[in-house]
A and B are shown apart, each in its own frame.
Chain A
Amino acid sequence: MLYCLDFNNECAKMSSKTGGSIKNQIYSNKKTMSPETAQTSELEHKKEQSELELLLTQISESDEDAMREFYKKTVRLVYGMSHRVLSNSEEAEEVALEVFMYVWKNASQYDRELSKPLSWLLMITRTRAIDKVRKRARAVQIDDSMDENLVTGADNPEDTYIASERRKVMRNAMSQLTSKQKEVMELSYYQQFSHSEISEKVGIPVGSVKSTIRVVMVKLKNIIKAEQGRSYVAEIH
């Protein structure tokens, strides 16, 4: 069967039949990355994801070496995300520690069908960091903090080339959102407010919040894929 997400329209289309995994991605020759680089990047990324999945399985069996490797592979991202939300080094460190403690005790709860390992880990990180923000009852600053992050999140020399390229693409994609879309993304992704909370804060109906989140995410994907020089057809068989 063929599921085809048409990025020129902001909705997904699919034909019938039953599911499976994504089989094929077709690369076109646009800008930023060559098709070969994009393909290499994607393959390396998938390999890394597989490694993280395997490590989580081993951690769930109390494998300390696996935990050490998982920590080394992800700590900078976890700490970076935590710091992004908290803007405080000490608190960000505490959250990072809590996150890895949680992984050590709860790796078995990771479900590969529901999320990718890095998404799972960073969702835990965001949730914990946001809990801390709410506990200290800091006034929520929406304004342009997302833009600030795009500027202050300067490239770290230790970043891999691919991670650095992905970040540039992501920043560019973010910069193309409208201010309302940025605001909704800030409140949902970085602050994890519920639909109704976002509705109150932004002043739009709950239904619009839901559709905005969907539209923004598809838009981001659309921009990212275009930036990475790919058209995208996912074939499921």
Chain B
Amino acid sequence: MANKYTDEEIQELAASYAMGILGSEDKALFEIILTWDNRASFYLEYFNEIMEELSYDSAPLEEPQGLEERLFKYMQMNK
């Protein structure tokens, strides 16, 4: 089973999985591959690091006033 998928195929799956755009079938497939092919977890970690960097593309903004209070009111009601 180890060579069922090429490096490139696993990389493509890992990249789109990290991106969060795999369809449900491919997502399930990749999660199965993750359980037996070490390349999958390695590439996923690799692409997750890029996702991490991508998060810096959006500038942080000052939080809206009152948001924290609204959240904690919700938390009190949903303990």
Contact = CB atoms under 8 A, between A and B. Distances in A.
Interface stretch (A28-36, A110-118, A134-142): A110-118
Given A14-B42, A104-B75, A93 B21 contact: no
Contact of B58 (A3, A84, A93, A214): A84
Interface in B57-79: 57-64, 67-68, 70-72, 74-75, 78-79
B79 A62 contact: yes
Interface string A183-207: 0000011001111000000000000
Given A93-B64, A119-B48, A19 B41 contact: yes
B23 to A, nearest CB: 6
A183 B54 CA distance: 15
Interface string A62-73: 101001100100
B61 A71 contact: no
Contact of A14 (B15, B39, B52): B39
Given A76-B61, A89-B64, A213 B15 contact: yes
A2 to B, nearest CB: 11
A127 B38 contact: no
Interface residues of B, number: 47
Given A97-B67, A104-B78, A118 B60 contact: no
Interface in A146-171: 149-150, 153-156, 158-159, 163, 166-167, 169-171
Contacts, number: 177
B19 A189 contact: yes
A105 interface: yes
A5 interface: yes
B58 A80 contact: yes
B57 A83 contact: no
Given A105-B78, A119-B48, A75 B23 contact: no
Given A12-B46, A167-B59, A213-B19, A189 B54 contact: yes
B15 A217 contact: yes
A210 B16 contact: yes
A96 B59 contact: no
Interface of B: 7-8, 11-12, 15-16, 18-21, 23, 34, 38-39, 41-64, 67-68, 70-72, 74-75, 78-79
Given A113-B41, A170-B54, A188-B21, 10 more contacts: A12-B7, A14-B7, A64-B75, A68-B68, A79-B61, A100-B71, A119-B52, A127-B20, A156-B62, A217-B50
10 contacts: A12-B11, A12-B46, A75-B68, A76-B61, A96-B67, A105-B78, A113-B34, A149-B57, A156-B61, A211-B12
